[in-house]
Structures are given as structure tokens and as C-alpha cells.
Structure 1
Amino acid sequence: MKLYNNGVYLVNGTQIVEDGHEAAAAIKAATGLDVTKDQAHQATMAYGILADHNTSGNMDNLQIKFDKLISHDITYVGIIQTARASGLEKFPIPYCLTNCHNSLCAVGGTINEDDHMFGLTCAKKYGGIYVPPHQAVIHQFAREMMAGGGKMLLGSDSHTRYGALGTMAMGEGGPELVKQLLNQTYDIAMPGVIAVYMTGTPRKGVGPQDVALAIIGEVFDKGYVKNKVMEFVGPGVANLSMDFRIGVDVMTTETTCLSSIWTTDKKTEEFYEIHGRKEEYKELNPGQVAYYDGMIEINLDEIKPMIAMPFHPSNTYTIEELNANLMDILDDCEKRAKVSLDGQVEFSLKDKVRNGKLYVDQGIIAGCAGGGFENICDAADILRGTSIGPDEFTLSVYPASTPIYMELVKNGAVADLMSTGAIVKTAFCGPCFGAGDTPSNNGFSIRHSTRNFPNREGSKLQNGQIASVALMDARSIAATAANKGYLTAATDIDVDYSKPKYHFDGRIYANRVFDSHGVAEPETEIHFGPNIKDWPKMSALPENLFLQVVSEIHDPVTTTDELIPSGETSSYRSNPLGLAEFTLSRKDPEYVGRAKNIQKAQKALEAGECAGDAVPELKKIVHKVKETYPDINHDNFGVGSTIFAVKPGDGSAREQAASCQKVLGGWANIANEYATKRYRSNLINWGMLPFVIPEGELPFKNLDFLFIPGIKDAVVNKAETIKAYVVKEDGLREFEMTLGQLTDDEREIILKGCLINYNRQ
């Protein structure tokens, strides 16, 4: 695999010309054309799709309107509640509500099914689509029934990726879907586009997760594709089946790219035809001369079975390399774990080594990445006639949709799997986010799913529990299962893959999915349960701001799982205040109490009372500031909390990573950088200031009070730097922060206090 340091021209789809003094001559010789860089930039597939959906008239600053929206049962309640509070009357475009995260209804009594009935009644009232639990995971339903060539789709799940079908899809926090529901736009600067140029053909036993992990391992730490569009091109694409392309594509989220798009061909057209939607196919290719901001060149012949060791998808090795250097790599995992787990529990995988071989406790093939038809058929071929054994090793398989499940039943794959001792279950995302198949304490699970962050397997550090996940392809998981848990690459076994043809049975969805076809029924009464709560009132940005630092996180990257845990806490995402009690609970258990304490001061101000009476320690802080800023008074300042994290926001798109801080009185995050655009957007949409501070020694420490004078004017006047002070007994210590680029609408949202307030006014 090769990463190009400079921009690259792709000529005639196959010739790579690096940007430089001789590029124009090389292009002229190959095509006879004089092409400017700007013209070539416009010849990418990404540019064309973005141009078709841009409403700003300015391709440098895009205002995108999407064709369709999709959410699942962890996110759609909050989205619709926000939109309702902002005046929603009807879904203006197709909006699909799927139920694949809290579908087990196993935690919290009635609250999960209450959310589902909320979704069904809202689909009727506002004119949407409702997919009942166990029918399909969110992204598989979108692939089967919603994707379209040249279309754009926005989802409230970070793995919203349908580029292999010619659909540019993006995963964002809920407020961005709210904007689309209110006929507003998705505003971004024109993203860079990185070519993923493929040649060769994967060797027998190599699957899509192997290719994906190889890419992630190469680009993540370098930030090579961060907030850019990955455009898959080259002759190697044609050598991949659609399921293979889809399996690579869904994992592009783990590179931190913005979106993805692939060249399309007859195989793509056949996918649409199989699903009864041939009219949605569109041929997509870059122009004769296309310019990319960088290129990842991959020879598929050279990809070997991969494994991503705990606790990140970028912690990658070939399985061959792991087995050859086992104790050294396990030692490295222990060192990484001390950072990821903050030393809360002891972690080691060395006890999994028996006679020099690594044994795992569990295998899972599931969800939007692993639950595809081809993955499961190949796994069944590997396992046919074997046994997973009567010991601790277990194997669970989750087809990604009921139509896939039905076809696997018809062709015998389910019988082949179950006869080995494996369990085949319904479509469910739980094993991907920590709500299903939790191993025993110290258990080690290998999964064809999307992430392996801490607690994604369901353990709880705060209770002294620890298990861990490594990501692998379904084929190598099956090979490992056939060897009763001994880690085995699929290329090490000899299997004749049957490659049965897929037949889609649309009757399943026709009989069970509610589709309004865009017709709203305003008279429908929405079903509310006792856990479904409205958002609390949120204040506008004050003229001046006192912040207390209530958590300080120095991990290289902080995931949204650490900001607001996944797993069973997901059942409370329809209850903003209830969910907020879990904020940072696995990373900083003191956070909630500290945030609530300083929030008392803001609540006192809003009630016309003295902030210092509510939080006595604040009195000294205010008096010290008044020595320099005598005009400060209760009418012109606000009080809240902030956290510092080096690089927060990797992982899930969940808006609650920001909104939970907001409902606890958070006014800001301070970071060296933000891991993803979507997390920064979530902060802004909840009225929180996305401060950036240079790397190095911090001017403040945890529990310090900060004073930011004139913050409202700084936002209004687009100040390049923000002056702030650490307030100490001996005086004010000045330092500077920035806010980065903000659109005019984003500034107004921050000034109003949140997106709800912005739309109400």
C-alpha cells in the first residue's frame, strides 16, 4: 500500500500522474488535452454529486440538501423531539426509522418498545418509513431499499456509508438531520477528495474486513483522509463483488473520512436489479482527467488476513505477523490498555496463549459490516462438517436483514452453521456497541463488526469488569471457530467456496415495514412513554462567561463511547436528563457531580438569584475578576462547565456526547483538535463553544475557574482569537484560544444557545 504525499491526477482511469511541473505535459501526451487543476478537480465523482446537491451557488462553501434520511432507535426519538420543538409539521423528504439497536427490549422495562411505538406513530403522523425490530440493521435496509446512484443520504449513525452503491452518504449527529427536516442545509467547506486506487484481486480467503483494516491501519494515525471523501477507483474495483465492496466501504468511517463514493459497473446495476430497484442505478466514473488531493494505492493481491487488536480499529497486524510475534504484540497491547483503560483494571491477553498459540473465547459475525450474505455463506463453507466444540468458545452469527436470513435458510447455510454449534440470530447491532454477547470477565472476542473500543463488548470498567475485542474478517473468524478458538487465518485452510447467488424476497418488507409513501396523517396521536422527555430549557450565550474545568483527559484520542457510554445506557437516550447521569461515567466518574455543582450557579442566575449564594466558591472568583473588569455583574455573565480533552469525538456520531454535557450546564469543550467534524458539529448545534488551544502545557488544570470576557461579541465579530483568563487568588493569568471556522448560521446557533432556540426564533 502506498500513500502519495502530493496531489495526483488520474488519467483515463488507469494512469497515475503526480502533481508537479511535468504533470501537464504527461496529461497532454496521454490525452491531447490541456486541463487545468481546477477542471480536473471538478472531474471527480465526489465533486459532481456534491454540485448536484449544493444550494449555495458557491462550491467552496457548500449548503447541501440530502435526498433521504435514516435513523435508528437510539437516535430518532431525540431528533424528532428536537424537530417538534422547532415547529416540525411533516417530513419533507423520505425519512426512515429503523429499530436495530434497542430492539431486544431487555433493559429498563417498557422503555425500548415505547420508543418503537413513538417511531411508528411519528412515521404515520409526519409521513415516514418505519422498520420494525429484527427486520434489518439500519445500513442494510438503506442499501436494499434507499440507496440510489448519484444520490446523497444523511444518517444519524456514523457508519452511514453507501458509496459502493454510488450513493454519497454521511453519518452525523441528530441536529444535522433536524436541519434537513426543517428544510435547512448541511453546511461545509468543499472537502478534499482522496483516491483509493485499487489493482489486483484478493487472494482466496481474504475478505472485505481484511482490506478495510489494512487501509485503516495505514491512514488513521496520519490523519490522511480526515474529513475528506474517499473515492474508490482503479481496475481492482471490478474484481470485487458488491458484498465485498460494501464491506470495505462501511469501514471507511474508521479512517475519520467524511464520506465515500465508488465507481459503479454492471455488478452495481445487478445489485439494484436483484432488489427490484434497477431504475436507481447510475454509472459513475471519474472524468478523463481527475485531480485528487492524495491517493492510497492498493494492490489487492498483497492483502493478507488482518486483525485489529484492542482497543482501536487502527491497531492492526496481519494474523501471520501476530502469530509470529505473539508475546511482543500482546505486551504492546498491555501498554496501550494502560492508556485506554486509565489503569482502572488489570488487562492482559497473555493467559490466552497455550502451547505458543493464541486462543480466543468468542466469535461474532454481525451487523452492517459482518452480516452480509457473502460473508456468512463463506463462513458456512469453512465450517461445514466441523464443530466449534463443547468448551468455552462460542460463535454467534447475525444476518444483517431478514431477507438475507431467509435466503441463508433456503440455501442451507443456516443449517450448516447451526450444526457446528454456532447460533444464528436476528438482525441486531448490539455486538457492535456493547449490548449483546458480552463475554465473561477477561474474555477475548473476535468480531466482524465495526469497532473494538473499550466496553464495546459490554464489560464495565467501573464494576471491575474487562473483556476485549479484536476485529477480523468473517472468514478468519470461521477458520478460528473450526479450530475451536485457535486464532487461524482463512488463507491457512483449503476450502471450496460455493458462492451461491443471492435472491432478494421483497415480500418480507412489503408485509411488515410501514411506508407512508410520503403521505402524512396529522391526526395521528404520538405514543409517548414515561422515559420520553422533552429537552430542558437552554439559555442564550451570555456577554461574559465563567467556566469551571470539571474534567481533564489526556488520552491521545477520546471516543464518544467514553464521553457517553454505549451499551445498556442507550435505553435512556430518549430521556436527556436521565441519560446525562451517565456522562463520562466510565472515564471520569466525578464529572457529573462537578458539572451539576457549578450548574447551580447558572440556574440561580436564571431565577434572578445570586450565583455566589448557590456556589459559594464562585464569589471569590467573581470578586477577583471585578478588580480588572469592574462592569461584570449578574446581568451580563453566565456560569457553566467545560472539559479539556486532547482530541475528543472519535467514533460514533451520537449527538448525546455533546447534549449530555449541555444539559448538565456545559458551555464549551477545549481541545487541541477535534477527532471528527461530526462531534464538533454536535457541540455547535447544542450551543457549545468548540475551543481549540495549542498543544503543550495547559495554562489551567482540573477544577480551575476560567473567565472569558466579551465572548458574545467575539462570536458575533468573528474574532480570530479568544482572550481568556485562569482566575487565581493572586490574579488573572491570560491565555488564548480559537474557535476555528464557523458559518454564520453556526455562530447564530451558538449565540441563541442551541439549535432548538435558533429555530424557535
Structure 2
Amino acid sequence: MATDTFSDAIREFEHDGETYKMADLTVLEEQGLCDLDKLPVSIRILLESVLRNADGDQIDADSVRAAASWEPDVPDAEVPFTVSRVVLQDLTGVPAVVDLAALRSAADRKGVDPAVVEPEVPCDLVIDHSVQVDHFGSDDAYEKNVEIEYERNEERYRAIKWAQQAFDEFNVVPPGTGIVHQVNLEHLGRVVHEREVDGDQWLVPDTLVGTDSHTPMIGGIGVVGWGVGGIEAEAALLGQPINMSLPEVVGVRLSGDLPEGATATDLVLHITEKLRQVGVVDKFVEFYGPGVSQLSVADRATISNMAPEQGSTISMFPVDEKTLEYLELTGRDEDHIELVREYLEAQGLFGEQEPEYTETVEFDLNEVEPSLAGHKKPHQRIPMGDLDEHFPTLLEEQGVIGAGGEPAISDGSGAAAADSTGSGPGLPLDEKVPVELEDGTEVEIGHGDVLVSAITSCTNTSNPSVMVGAGLLARNAAEEGLEVPDYVKTSLAPGSRVVTEYLERAELLDDLEELGYHVVGYGCTTCIGNSGPLPEPIENAIDEHDLWTTSVLSGNRNFEARIHPKIQANYLASPPLVVAYGLAGRMDIDLENEPIGTNDDGEEVYLEDIWPDTEEIRQTIHDSISPEMFAEKYASVYEGDERWEALDAPTGEVYDWDDESTYIREPPFFQDFPLEKPGVDNVEDARALLTLGDTVTTDHISPAGLFGEDLPAGQWLTERDVPVHEFNTYGSRRGNHEVMMRGTFANVRITNELLDGKEGGYTVHHPTDEETTVFDASERYREEDTPLIVMAGDELGTGSSRDWAAKGTDLLGIRATIGKSYERIYRDNLIGMGVLPLQFEDGEGWEELGLEGDEYFEISGLEDGLEPNAELDVTAETDDGETVEFSVTAQVDTPMAVEYVENGGVLHLVLRRLLTEELN
């Protein structure tokens, strides 16, 4: 704990007859190191962590001074931040378990006690990303989907159960419980922890990192937490401080009230759009002002959830009376709630704050209107009334139709321009094609029709106002006799079992089910890409007629090919609007002025006729939700059902690897592990594996969804006699590096400009100019001992925090990426795997420099080692000897990040330290 220099800051704190220790920030103020009232709340919490963990070794007195030095014009200072806990979800949690198991195996091979690899901070893994919507629209959909989930993922779940018994402080929330961020908000989050350290009881702020980019949702209750890749989370688990540059902090001043008819989802889409325009990448965001008190904690959490879409590292709210009321509502212990108040008051962290910020943004709640986001980016907000014009314009821009709504003509032959979904004749905007479903039902579909309508995702299922709103709208629609068309795949995936409980108590679940919104699972489902298959006749019609169909979901991500590879346009909306567009059956409609359908008497029904009023929603919530409900549902949160109990998991300290497994395999990262760090050298005679444009997401780099037998990953499984129907998804195979490295840069929508914009995971092998898959090309380059680079535009790696986007990049032999800008988590993950993230100078890019991608590349300036933010020189030389020289900046911000790169990655550094300490 704190060094002698700041020993006075460690004092005793009395509460209800108990004596605790705490790191008192006011002492630093007394010593003249800071003015607490001027420091943003998030910075004060960082400062408390540094102060409490200062040991004179990894964290010294200078670190405390650096954290205390924050001011609006942020000083260039590094802060070692130690979190109080880590949260994992299963798609990133399984790779974390595999890595931890591999670290133990490496220690065991070196003759070191494998238990030296042990989590230093508590960890919760919530299994929520694996359930798929195979069955829907029936009372038994949930049971059938869970049964299939266990069949597909039994081996992965056994590995998780092994970790649960092998590691201390490693808790698992089994399948069918809820979505990680909602479980975190409703149960795991404590705001303040009581912790025993070396025999003493301490009070510490609740802080965390999580292996999902939406971890900042916990900021809704004033907790500092953000998403990291599995690599960085594993390092934090093993006690490694997160070394970060002091962030800029943007204050968003909220004023006004939400108008009648506007939802929290509409609000967050407005804020996401606004903050993307402001530019908050790598920044902390804090909300303050009179409008904060107008928002429920659920509304605040809805906003905080979409911090990654806003671009920020965190988006947090203060802890105030409403926060304590929420803790009470969700079943937290009364004594703990009072402890939270007293501790935060003692630290000056309770209630409304108006500190100094790097930048202040004004936002008036009164300006919010019903909105959606689409067609492929969460910050592309569209007012609801503009959708009827938006969609035809979109199809014209994509070359699907001409100005008159007829199919676009591509070659003068009368054939419609085909896009990547197929090669058949196009369809006019206002025409439909008949489709006979498997059960004999006949439907008609065309451009703009909604094929997936999903109430899903922690963003909105955590918010009773929009969930109850969806239920009341469904009730009103059913009473009018409105029905969802048969071609729409409907689903309801509550974020926790409490949601189902209060919908049942309010007698709204039956109304949702009447329209087809039956519970399909307690997990991310459609939002993570687990929407499941569409009926085969519908998929065939999409291919045959190049249809631009749509999905609408209450999620936070709508990137290309994420929701379903056959659906081209995807829209984010509130749960009530998800139901509304499900009823309409199409997105190219103005629901403000056009009828949503006709009632039993043949009369036109408009959205305003069935939209519930705010007071009805509030009263229903008041009558239907109680603390006992949360206490009951979360009392057995770690137990699981009979399926979980029946899983026969391995035991012991070292995992028993199965060489025949197609799900869990020992990765190559720590095999033949050298005790000497490899360092970093100049890159010579490298080739470009891909040249990419702007906003290449982690979905593009490491897709999570389904894949076929014609791709390298599918070929590898086929060679091992795995039938196609058992392929599962990329996400579920993340414990198998063989599949994941073959799936890297394999998204069906990724566009490699080396192939003149061809979509899919293909590239050119130089110098033969042969077209092949990205993986096969990388293998040829490996055999030729040729290092690789990837060049891209702005926002490289935006999206979900997938460690395999960096792991796969590393395993393909890519030494460096060069982009115009990076999403923070992807950049940090690259560093965590020893890959250099390099950035072009302002105004430059591979296209601006006239590069074709077929050059030889040399990266110099590393002969004497790597420095933080080093400026390096790149030379691109053609076969004819012509050269282009340009400068890049290494996006490696801190000395510790340099250490990671020089060690080949952060886990390599941690393992090297552990082994060296034990062997010496």
C-alpha cells in the first residue's frame, strides 16, 4: 500500500462499529498536490487507486504526483491504474481461460509451480454470448435454444468450469442468467468494495475493466470501468497495472427534459451522434448539470453503455440519491448502501459535481426526437420520420436502384447491377417476390422489408421504461388486431431474468408473445450476430434478386454482416420501435404520417394510436418491480441449471489439452518460451497483406458470426470431419487458434483494395500476383520468411473489443499496421501482442501517398530500440526501384507499452517476470 511519502493518506474509517482503512484523497489536497473540487470525478478515482497501491516498486511517489497533476490542459503524464476487479464474457472469456491455462502449462514445462499463474484480483465471467436464435416465435423457443447452446458449446463450457475450480477468485455466471453488462449493473457492481488486504479491512472504489467494449455501462452507477481486449484483461487479472496516459475529460452538461414520446434509446442515439461529431476518442466523458437529475439510473446506464459508439473510453454519471435508490431497488444490502454514501461523502465524491473539464459540451434533452441509427454505423442517426426517404436514397447510393426506383443498369444489357449477395436479376423498389416458406406459408418480400425484429442487448433490456413501453405497445397493437408479417423473424432476449419477471407481473409478456416476441434466451443474441438462420427460401430469394432487406434491433452495434450475412441494412432502435417496425414489416416507411397497419374493422392504425404514454409506463414500472424480485433472481446467480451442474469438467491445476479438439487447443504464444525478451528491430522487405479503407471494424478483422466450408476456417474443420451444421460461429471457436487465425480478415464484407475493392477475405500474393485467401497468402509469406504489414484509413479497429483481431493479426505474421487513426482498444490489443500500430502523418495515407500495395516496405528507426510515440521512417520501393518515403508515429504511448512490444506482448512480459522470479 501507499509509500512512506504518502503514509499519512492512509487513515481509519469507522462505519457501524467496523473499522476500515482507506486512501484519503483530502490529504493530498492538504499537501497542496491538487484541488479536489477541480478534478473530474473519474480522475479522482484514478488518483485514489494510484495512491492506495503505491508500493515504491511498480507504483512510486512520482506516480501519485503524476495522477494528481491533472488539469484541463492535460499534462503528459503516465498513470499506473490498478482495478479492483475484472469482468469477462464468454466469447472473450474463453480465450482468456485458454491463455491462463497456456501460461500454467508454460510454467509447468519450465519446472515452476503452475499455481504461480493466479488471478490477483476477483474476476466474474458471465456466459451470455453463445446462445443463438435457432428457434423463435413459440413457447418452447427458450428451452430449445438453450439445449442447442449446450450441445454446441459443451467443450467450451467444460473449460470454463475447469477455470472455476483451478483459480481462486474466479466466479462464473452460467448460461441462461443474463447479459454481462446488465448482470454487472444489477448485481456485480458495488460502487464501493469492502476488501481484506494483508489482514486489514479496506474500503476501495469499485473499478474494473471488462473484455467487452460496453463495460462502461457501469458508469451509469458512477463506477469507473471500460472495455479492454482479453489480453489486457488477463494482465490486469494477474496484477499488472494498466499503464495509461492521463486522459482528457469532456464534460457533457445536460439540461431540459425528455419530450413526451422520446425514449432513453432516442436520447443515447442523439448523444452518440453528438459526441462523434465532437471527437472523444481516448477521452473520458462525464455527465453533469440539471438534466442529470431528470434521468433515471437505467436511462443513465443506457447512455453509458454506448460509450464505444460515442468514441469515449468511459461515459459516467455521478453517484447521487438516485444511484442509492437504484441500489436499493436492485436488492443491494441496506447497510452497504449507507456505507457507499458515507465513504463517498468522506472522499468528496458523492452528489452533484461541477469540476473543470478539458472541454464542455452542452446538450438539451428537449431536442430529442424518436430516432433510429443505420444502416451500418451506430452513430448514423436518422429521425424516424425520414426513413421513407432514407432507404430509397440509400439504394440509389449503393447502385441497387436508379433514380426512378428501377433496378440499376450495370452493362447496358438490361441486367441489374448485382452486389455481393448474388448475381441474379435485380428488383424494382416497389415490387415484391413471392416466397413459400417451409411450412407452406406464402409471403412476399422486397427491398426494405424487415426480416429480423429483435428486442435484444444490454443497452436497452436493462431499462424498464423501454421494455415496459414495448410491452404496452404490443398490448395496444394486439387489441387492434395488428400482426407481424410471417416473413419477420421476431425475438425477445431479456438481459436478465428480472426482466421476464416484471413483464409477467405486468401481464405484458403474453402481449409480446401474441405478436411473436417470445423469450429466445438470456444473452446478447442478435446484437452479437447470433440471430440464427433465416428460412432457406428467404435466403434464396435474397440471393436470386439481390434484395436489400433489413433488420431492426434494440442493440448497440449494426456493422456490416454483423446481424446476418444476408441482410444488408441494419437499424438500431428502442424496443417499442423494434415492435413497431416489426408490425410494419418494412423500414422504408414514415411512421409519423403513414399507417402501421389496419385493424380488425379495416381501419388504418397509426403509431400514435398504439404508443403508450409516459405516465402509463411509469405506473406500470411502479406496480411491477420490487427489490425482492432482484434479490430472488440473483440469489443463485452462480449456480446454473441442471445442464450446468451435469457438465463433467476437467480438474487440477494444469489443463489437460486434447490435440483432437476443435474448440480448445493450446495456443502457440508460450510454447518454446525464451526467458530473454526478443526486443524489436527494423522491418525489412515487408509486403502488404491488405490495403484497407476507413472504419475497418474488429468485426471485419475478426468476425464473430457464421462461416462456410469454402473458407479456410471451414476447410480446416471439414478436414477434421466436422459437419457444416456443427461449425458453430467464429465467436464460439475463439479457444482454437487454428480456426481464428484462418478467420482473421475473413469477413464477407471486408474490402481489400489490392483486389480493386473485391469483398471477402482475399488478397494478392506478391510477387506472383496470384489471388488467394488472406490466410493462404500469409502461409506462403511465412514459408518465404517475408514479414507483413497492413495499411488502412481512419478508425482502424473500431467496434467490439476482440482480442482475436490482434491475436490473429500477430499469427498471420503481420509485424505492423499503418493507419490514419485507431480505435483505442484495438491499438492497445496490437501492442499487447507485440504488433506495432503505426500512424500516418496528418493529411497522409496510403492512397494520398500514391502507394499501390505491391511495394517492398522497410520500417526504420528501431535499430536502437523503441521509444514512446517514436517517429519512424518508412520506405516503399517498387520492383522498378522507385521509392516513396514517409514518416509514421508509433502509437505506443507509454514506457510500459514499449516493454510490451519488446517482450512480444503483455502476457509474455508477465510470464517472463513470473518465471524469472521463481527460477532465481
TM-score category by the smaller chain?
A: 0.7 to 0.9
Q: Confirm or deny: 8 A CA contact 2:282 2:824 kept in the other structure.
A: yes
> How many residues in Structure 1 have an aligned counterpart in Structure 2?
678
What residue number does 2:209 align with? 154
What residue number does 1:472 align with? 573
Deviation of the 1:406 alpha carbon: 2.4
Distance 1:350 1:656, change over 3 A: farther
Deviation of the 1:755 alpha carbon: 2.4
Distance 1:396 1:292, change over 3 A: same
Q: 1:509 aligns with which of 626, 634, 637?
A: 634
Deviation of the 1:584 alpha carbon: 1.2
* Deviation digits for residues 161-182 of structure 1 (CA, Å, limit 9, x no counterpart): 2111111110011111111122
Instruction: Trace 1:72-83 onto structure 2 (pairs within 5 A).
Output: 72-83=89-100
Instruction: Trace 1:43-442 onto structure 2 (pairs within 5 A).
Output: 43-54=39-50, 55=59, 56-57=63-64, 58-59=66-67, 60-86=77-103, 89-104=117-132, 112-127=153-168, 128-149=170-191, 150-161=205-216, 162-220=218-276, 222=277, 224-278=279-333, 279=336, 281-282=340-341, 284=349, 290-323=355-388, 327-328=392-393, 331-332=396-397, 344-345=420-421, 351=429, 360-372=450-462, 373-385=464-476, 386=478, 387-437=482-532, 440=538, 441=542, 442=548
Q: 1:652 aligns with which of 789, 792, 800?
A: 800
Distance 1:760 1:242, change over 3 A: closer
Distance 1:444 1:522, change over 3 A: closer
Q: Confirm or deny: 8 A CA contact 1:596 1:664 kept in the other structure.
A: no
Deviation of the 1:109 alpha carbon: 9.2
Q: Gaps spanning 5+ residues in structure 1: where?
A: 1-35, 460-464, 516-520, 603-613, 616-637
* Deviation digits for residues 61-91 of structure 1 (CA, Å, limit 9, x no counterpart): 1111111111111111222333344455332
Q: Confirm or deny: 8 A CA contact 1:367 1:449 kept in the other structure.
A: yes
- SS of match in other structure, 2:91: coil
What residue number does 1:687 align with? 834
Distance 1:42 1:574, change over 3 A: farther
* Deviation digits for residues 97-144 of structure 1 (CA, Å, limit 9, x no counterpart): 111111357999956221122112212221211111111111011111
Q: Confirm or deny: 8 A CA contact 2:744 2:808 kept in the other structure.
A: yes
Deviation of the 1:569 alpha carbon: 1.3
Q: Confirm or deny: 8 A CA contact 1:445 1:469 kept in the other structure.
A: yes
Q: Distance in 2 between matches of 1:187 and 1:507?
A: 40
The residue identity in structure 2 corresponding to 1:432 is C
Q: Distance in 1 between matches of 2:904 and 2:779?
A: 15
Deviation of the 1:202 alpha carbon: 1.2
Distance 1:712 1:576, change over 3 A: farther
Q: Distance in 2 between matches of 1:556 and 1:342?
A: 23
Q: Distance in 1 between matches of 2:255 and 2:806?
A: 41
* Deviation digits for residues 198-217 of structure 1 (CA, Å, limit 9, x no counterpart): 11221222111111111222
Q: Distance in 2 between matches of 1:559 and 1:223?
A: 21
What residue number does 2:789 align with? 642
Q: Distance in 2 between matches of 1:134 and 1:598?
A: 39
What residue number does 1:456 align with? 562
Q: Distance in 1 between matches of 2:428 and 2:382?
A: 17
Distance 1:471 1:335, change over 3 A: farther
Deviation of the 1:254 alpha carbon: 0.2
The residue identity in structure 1 corresponding to 2:907 is I
What residue number does 1:562 align with? 700
The residue identity in structure 1 corresponding to 2:612 is V
Deviation of the 1:756 alpha carbon: 3.2
Deviation of the 1:327 alpha carbon: 3.7
Distance 1:177 1:412, change over 3 A: same
Q: 1:728 aligns with which of 858, 879, 884?
A: 879
- TM-score of the superposed pair, with normalisation by structure 1: 0.81
* Deviation digits for residues 234-262 of structure 1 (CA, Å, limit 9, x no counterpart): 11121122222221221122011011210
What residue number does 1:605 align with? none
* Deviation digits for residues 22-60 of structure 1 (CA, Å, limit 9, x no counterpart): xxxxxxxxxxxxxx9984884321221121223532213
Deviation of the 1:392 alpha carbon: 2.3
Q: Distance in 1 between matches of 2:373 and 2:398?
A: 11
* Deviation digits for residues 478-513 of structure 1 (CA, Å, limit 9, x no counterpart): 333455555636667542434323223333333351
Q: Confirm or deny: 8 A CA contact 1:205 1:475 kept in the other structure.
A: no
- SS of match in other structure, 2:693: coil
The residue identity in structure 1 corresponding to 2:834 is G
- SS of match in other structure, 1:47: helix
Q: Distance in 2 between matches of 1:288 and 1:565?
A: 41
Deviation of the 1:226 alpha carbon: 1.1
Q: Confirm or deny: 8 A CA contact 1:551 1:703 kept in the other structure.
A: no
Is residue 703 from structure 1 mapped to residue 857 from structure 2 by the alignment? no
Distance 1:729 1:332, change over 3 A: closer
Deviation of the 1:303 alpha carbon: 0.5
Q: 2:762 aligns with which of 574, 586, 590?
A: 590
Deviation of the 1:740 alpha carbon: 3.3
Q: Distance in 2 between matches of 1:452 and 1:750?
A: 33
Deviation of the 1:445 alpha carbon: 1.2
* Deviation digits for residues 404-437 of structure 1 (CA, Å, limit 9, x no counterpart): 2223223322112112332222212120121115
What residue number does 1:631 align with? none
What residue number does 1:634 align with? none
The residue identity in structure 2 corresponding to 1:663 is L
Q: Distance in 2 between matches of 1:48 and 1:352?
A: 58
Q: 2:665 aligns with which of 533, 540, 550?
A: 533
Deviation of the 1:690 alpha carbon: 0.8
Q: Distance in 2 between matches of 1:316 and 1:545?
A: 42
Q: 1:495 aligns with which of 593, 597, 612?
A: 612
Deviates more, 1:469-478 or 1:39-48: 39-48
Distance 1:111 1:329, change over 3 A: closer
The residue identity in structure 2 corresponding to 1:268 is T
Q: Confirm or deny: 8 A CA contact 2:854 2:878 kept in the other structure.
A: no
Q: Distance in 2 between matches of 1:178 and 1:211?
A: 34
Instruction: Trace 1:2-17 onto structure 2 (pairs within 5 A).
Output: none
The residue identity in structure 1 corresponding to 2:163 is C
* Deviation digits for residues 520-541 of structure 1 (CA, Å, limit 9, x no counterpart): x994675766221122147935
What residue number does 1:22 align with? none
The residue identity in structure 1 corresponding to 2:801 is A
Q: Distance in 2 between matches of 1:63 and 1:350?
A: 59
The residue identity in structure 1 corresponding to 2:46 is L
- SS of match in other structure, 1:75: helix
- SS of match in other structure, 1:558: coil
* Deviation digits for residues 449-495 of structure 1 (CA, Å, limit 9, x no counterpart): 01111111121xxxxx3432111111222333455555636667542
What residue number does 2:726 align with? none
What residue number does 1:628 align with? none
What residue number does 1:32 align with? none
- Give the root-mean-square deviation of aligned CA atoms: 3.5
Q: Confirm or deny: 8 A CA contact 1:43 1:286 kept in the other structure.
A: no
Distance 1:480 1:736, change over 3 A: closer
Distance 1:753 1:334, change over 3 A: same
Q: Distance in 2 between matches of 1:37 and 1:267?
A: 32
What residue number does 2:136 align with? none
